Amino acid sequence: MAVFQILLSLPLFHLVGSLLYLMGFLVVFLLGQVCLYLTQVEQLRRELECLWQGLLEIETVLLKGLCVLLLHLLNLTLVLLLRLL
């Protein structure tokens, strides 16, 4: 009886071994997919960082322009106030 059970379980063990081998390949492919996603995330981060730097430069230029405009308005206001005196 024990020999009969062992002989019946051998094909089952062979099938389980093949499935585990296939699972190993799937794990390797999954890890490759995760690495691919990580490189895509890194590339997106670099692109957003460049965009952010560009926005900061634009903001700096706009703030300098606003400061110049405010100084001109202040100067004009002072000139008008001095004329009223």
pLDDT tens readout for residues 24-81: 888 888 777 777 787 887 888 888 888 888 888 888 888 888 888 888 999 999 999 9
Give the integer Cα–Cα distance in Å for 39 and 51: 18
Give the integer Cα–Cα distance in Å for 37 and 44: 10
Tokens in use for 56? Answer: 């900061």
**Full residue range of the structural domain in which residue 42 is found:** 1-85
Residue-level pLDDT at 60: 85
Q: Per the structure, how many domains does the chain have?
A: 1
Measure the CA dihedral 69/70/73/75, to 10°. Answer: -110
